[in-house]
Amino acid sequence: MTAPRSRRGVRARLSDLCGRLVSHLSGTHAGPIRPLVDVAPEGRPLETPDVVFRVRGLCKVYATEAGEVHALRDVDLDIVRGETLVLLGPSGSGKSTFLNILGGLDRATSGSVRFGDLELTRVSVDQVTAYRRASVGFIFQFFNLVPSLTARENVALITEIAPGAMSPEAALALVGLSDRLDHFPAQLSGGQQQRVAVARAIAKRPILLLCDEPTGSLDSESGVQVLEAIQAVAGDVGATTMIVSHNAGIARMADRVIRFRDGAVVEVGVNDRKIAPREMTW
Ligand code: ADP
């Protein structure tokens, strides 16, 4: 595990990555893309200080009765440890497909996703399951809690199978729900249910926290509370966070904003000043 980098260092690195991605998109490489320095021996954890995921030429084609759907077209992106990315773009532009492939829920048609020495596009089903279980937390629009289990039990579903997870009580304390441990989902507001889902996602201390429209079914105050919880706990566990949203306001809490259109990344922006969820115009 490397020491946290200074804000200025991280920002300089992000600007550099952004510049190289933009030059790649415009077809004018300023220079060779630096290789990962992390070809870790079998079984060793990732040692790259900066880049956690290196995505190159990622394509996803769905074969449907109506013909082929190109959900992702040749996406390149380096994702830095601990950064928050917000993915924007019209419905159907490929954001969820990108998230799902990085999270090991879906397989690419071609291209590469490197996570340390793991090539996610080529690993076996067992390896991808182990990766997902140990390293990825998911938060979806519709909280996906089990209605017949309490908040504590919903979180325990994950903590019991994830290696090195914190206790359900500790995870629920991080999202401000210590006084709701034994409540069932039906006894909680939508925002509280989503915070249980946040606790469930981060209890395993994931390297990657994937949030697909996490505030999509919440009112603005609950949405702010959920985003605050995501931001705080992701910071606590040092997770790299990717948030898909239709709400362009959310983009201002990101380190970088990735815009998708028609399956391609068309713009990568760096926020010079991130704002807190409470400062956002909803
Ligand atoms: P977004 O998250 O930006 O709304 P998606 O990644 O969900 O976009 O979808 C990208 C494209 O891929 C869309 O055209 C969608 O209809 C298509 N798609 C997504 N999943 C499937 C699937 N399982 N089968 C066929 N087409 C799919």
Residue 49: what pLDDT?
Answer: 59
User: How far, in Å, from the CA of 36 to the mean position of ligand 1?
Assistant: 30
Residue 24: what pLDDT?
Answer: 35
C-alpha to C-alpha distance for 125 and 137, rounded to whole angstroms: 18
Task: Please give the number of the atom of ligand 1 that sits closest to the Cα of 94.
Answer: 6
pTM of structure: 0.81
* CATH at residue 39: 3.40.50.300
Ligand 1 neighbours, Cβ below 6 Å, are 62, 64, 69, 71, 89, 91-97, 260
Helix (H) or strand (E) holding 54: strand 51-64
206-220 confidence digits (pLDDT tens): 999 999 999 998 898
DSSP string, 155-216: HHHHHTTSTTPPPHHHHHHHTT-GGGTT--GGGS-HHHHHHHHHHHHHTT--SEEEEESTTT
97, 105, 242, 266: which to mutate for ligand 1, most atoms within 8 A of CB? Answer: 97
Residue 184 has pLDDT above 90, yes or no: yes
Q: How many domains does the chain have?
A: 1
C-alpha to C-alpha distance for 95 and 123, rounded to whole angstroms: 22
Residue 197 structure tokens: 């889902």
User: How far, in Å, from the CA of 21 to the mean position of ligand 1?
Assistant: 24
Lowest mean pLDDT among 7-16, 54-63, 141-150: 7-16
104-114 confidence digits (pLDDT tens): 999 999 999 99
User: How far, in Å, from the CA of 94 to the mean position of ligand 1?
Assistant: 6
Answer whether 63's CB lies under 8 Å from 71's CB. no
Residue with tokens 């870790």: 40
Residue 183 has pLDDT above 90, yes or no: yes
* Close Cβ partners of 85 (under 8 Å, ≥ 6 residues apart): 79, 240, 241, 242, 243, 254, 255, 256, 257, 258
Q: Which domain holds residue 205?
A: 3-279
pLDDT tier at 31, thresholds 50, 70, 90: very low
User: How far, in Å, from the CA of 265 to the mean position of ligand 1?
Assistant: 15
Answer whether 118's CB lies under 8 Å from 124's CB. no
Residue 203 has pLDDT above 70, yes or no: yes
Residue with tokens 């013909």: 67
Answer whether 208's CB lies under 8 Å from 80's CB. no
Between residues 15 and 277, which one has the greater pLDDT? 277
